[in-house]
Amino acid sequence: MSRPSRPLLAGWRALLLHRPHPSADALTRQLELLQIRVTVLWPQVDEADLPADVLFFDADMGHDGQFPWPPGFAPMPMIALIGSETPGRIEWAMTQGSNAHLLKPIGSTGAYSALLIAHRAYQQVCSQADEVRALEERLRQRPIVVHAILHLMTTRRLGETEAWKQLRSLAMDWGMTIEDAAEAICRNDKRTLSGG
């Protein structure tokens, strides 16, 4: 199993959603030492503030509506800045899609590890979402596969097993997935039926 590479942070753009505060200043200094450009915002992130590579946000003063995307669908890794460990504040930060956190007050360390953890967690979330979308697409195409198999059974007088093997063979010959080959067969079947 290959090890994921560490991101090259130099040149990244970070959004820091935090009111003026010594913790925000300390974090800005850490990020600038990593050659990350920082834009400090308050009280919300607007579409005009995007794109960015990472978002740090104040979980203590955070509220719904601060982000221009639905909770849990951030277009970048998010790192919660937590000073109050009350369950409600932590739950709110997790609902927003926090991938890592830093405890306040922020000193001279912690940003680098939080960035690496958030980046990896965000990559995993994106990868899982891609897998779910691919599985949903395959599930959506299952009736098309069944229709193609029935078409092959009828037109070529094959049994179910032989029709399945034929579909697999066609997909390999055509260099496409079984689902895409089934769709091609169904499109051809519709053209034949409509006289096209």
Looking up residue 68, the CATH number of its domain turns out to be: 3.40.50.2300
Binned at pLDDT 50, 70 and 90, residue 67 comes out as very high
Which pLDDT does position 2 carry in this prediction? Answer: 60
Q: Are residues 169 and 101 in the same domain?
A: no
Tally of domains in the chain: 2
Q: Are residues 145 and 101 in the same domain?
A: no
pLDDT at 155 over 60: yes
Range of the domain at 58: 13-109
Q: Are residues 100 and 153 in the same domain?
A: no
Q: Are residues 139 and 58 in the same domain?
A: no
Q: Are residues 27 and 75 in the same domain?
A: yes
Is residue 26 included in any domain, yes or no? Answer: yes
pLDDT in tens, 100-130: 999 999 999 999 999 999 999 999 988 887 7
Secondary structure, 3-state, the chain: CCCCCCCCCCCCEEEEECCCCHHHHHHHHHHHHCCCEEEEECCCCCHHHCCCCEEEEECCCCCCCCCCCCCCCCCCCEEEEECCCCHHHHHHHHHHCCCEEEECCCCCCCHHHHHHHHHHHHHHHHHHHHHHHHHHHHHHHHHHHHHHHHHHHHHHCCCHHHHHHHHHHHHHHHCCCHHHHHHHHHHHHHHHHHCC
pLDDT in tens, 15-59: 999 999 999 999 999 999 999 999 999 999 999 998 999 999 999
Q: Are residues 87 and 141 in the same domain?
A: no
Is residue 58 included in any domain, yes or no? Answer: yes
Binned at pLDDT 50, 70 and 90, residue 60 comes out as very high
Q: Are residues 104 and 143 in the same domain?
A: no
